[in-house]
Amino acid sequence: MPEKTRLLTPGPTPLPEPVRLALAKDMLHHRKSEFITIMRRAQENLRLLFGTAGPVLPLSCSGTGAMEAAVCNLFQPGEKVLVAEAGKFGQRWGLIAAARELEVVTLSAPWGKAVAARDIEEKLREDPAITGVLLQHSETSTGVLHPVREVAAVCRRLATLTVVDGISAVGLCPCPMDEWGIDCLLTGSQKGLMLPPGLALLALSPRAWKKAEKTRSGCFYFNLIKERDSLTGKGQTNFTPPVNLIVGLDESLAFLLKDGLEAVYRKQWALTMLARTGVSAMGLNLFAGEHFAWGITSVLLPEGIDGALVLRCAAEKFGVYMAGGQEHLKGRLVRIGHMGHVDWADVAAGLFALNQGIKEAGGFCGSRDYLERSLAAWRAALTVPPGEAPSMTHS
Ligand SMILES: *Cc1c(COP(=O)(O)O)cnc(C)c1O
């Protein structure tokens, strides 16, 4: 058995030590001043992370709960929304919207590709009754990144709300809500935020709040207006929050933001370069082409290689836990998560375990210097001047 395990899954992700220690603390009472101070401090950092001047609501649920809360609080049954669907989580938007009895128009991209902003624009022009566009920033099932900035600009022009599942993007790549004109941005605790699962965070734009004020949510628990009012008024949630997750959040935000947001994104981009270079150097196919996420790298396995065997070998022999493909890509993809408290050595271990796993499954992977090449790409990505790297800032 390997001595150490490495969680390279796209959530849950490894936790930094200060976060683990914070989670071990005894309970605070959620209506007393000590906890309220923590809530308010976390708010400041959350606004920075989300790039918004408005409140960022903590919700007691996994990420999907926040997706449902967004749909129920922003749209009335019978309203028409457009779902940009490029994978499993895009499908989930469609299912949630259907459960809310919305009329769903679906715009799909093949798995591995992103839905283009111009296609969304065309649909919106064709059908002015559409009141919202629901999409993922990073589609975790395929490792694809959607052009959220362009989509939000289109939606602004055509007076439609942009609702973004940023669960595998917030804290991993720039997604400045106010600047890009996003109307709803949400995430979960167990990915970029380096916390256990169970907490979600959600923010709305001023025009989305106006829409929410006119919408009967039909929810007792996930009433975003009431949550906003208690958060901004009293620094509290309406019901008992997951106290230790909030205490951990305060710690994880301090840990994440200690060198500034730019350093957060630069680190993520460099890890992505490390993973992608290594995968290509092994002669394997990257599943996401031009539009790739910064927290996950998906690898298309050679024909005839059993993905389950590769993953089992990586876990049992090398202690590296990665994810497989979902739905029709089961057994065909390996998804290397590089989210949360993960560093270059973890990702290098992931590449090595992948290489060895493929050998074990009867395949052969390319050049032997894939580790040197991937580490060189990582180092270069950390040091290239800002002008030659993608934007690491919120602007
Ligand atoms: C993980 C993930 C989800 C699901 O979140 P849960 O916390 O499991 O509810 C939804 N969307 C995306 C993009 C994800 O990465």
Phi, psi torsion values for 300, nearest 5 degrees: -85, 120
Residue nearest to atom 2 of ligand 1 (CA): 167
> What is the pLDDT of the chain when averaged over all its residues?
96
Check pLDDT > 60 for residue 149.
yes
Which fold does the domain 6-12+260-392 belong to in CATH?
A: Aspartate Aminotransferase, domain 1 (3.90.1150)
pTM here is 0.97
CA separation, residue 125 to residues 53, 87, 116, 132, 203 (Å):
30, 24, 15, 13, 27
**Is residue 140 lining ligand 1, measured as CB closer than 6 Å?**
yes
Distance 87 CA to ligand 1 centre (A): 12
Mean pLDDT of 166-194: 98
- pLDDT number for residue 345: 98
**Is residue 93 lining ligand 1, measured as CB closer than 6 Å?**
no
Distance 66 CA to ligand 1 centre (A): 10
d(CA 287, CA 298): 5
State the closest ligand 1 atom to the C-alpha of 62, by its place in the atom list counted from 1.
Answer: 7
State the closest ligand 1 atom to the C-alpha of 11, by its place in the atom list counted from 1.
Answer: 1
Check pLDDT > 60 for residue 395.
no
Q: Give bridge partners of residue 6 from the DSSP assignment.
A: 320
**Is residue 168 lining ligand 1, measured as CB closer than 6 Å?**
yes
Mean pLDDT of 229-240: 97
Domain ranges within the chain, ordered by starting residue: 6-12+260-392, 17-256
| End-to-end Cα, the chain, rounded Å | 47
Domain at 17-256, CATH from 3.40.50.1820, 3.40.50.300, 3.40.640.10, 3.40.190.10: 3.40.640.10
> Dihedral sign, CA of 231, 32, 45, 251?
negative
State the closest ligand 1 atom to the C-alpha of 197, by its place in the atom list counted from 1.
Answer: 7
Distance 88 CA to ligand 1 centre (A): 10
CA separation, residue 210 to residues 75, 196, 213, 225 (Å):
12, 33, 5, 10
Tell me the percentage of the chain whose pLDDT exceeds 70. Answer: 99
State the closest ligand 1 atom to the C-alpha of 139, by its place in the atom list counted from 1.
Answer: 13
State the closest ligand 1 atom to the C-alpha of 67, by its place in the atom list counted from 1.
Answer: 10
Mean pLDDT of 63-82: 98
Distance 64 CA to ligand 1 centre (A): 6
Task: Tell me the one-letter amino acid at 208.
Answer: A
d(CA 55, CA 356): 47
d(CA 233, CA 227): 10
Is 24 buried (19+), middle (13-18) or exposed (0-12) by CB count in 10 A?
exposed
Mean pLDDT of 66-82: 98
d(CA 321, CA 221): 35
Mean pLDDT of 18-27: 98
Residue 280's pLDDT band, with cuts at 50, 70 and 90, is: very high
**Is residue 11 lining ligand 1, measured as CB closer than 6 Å?**
yes
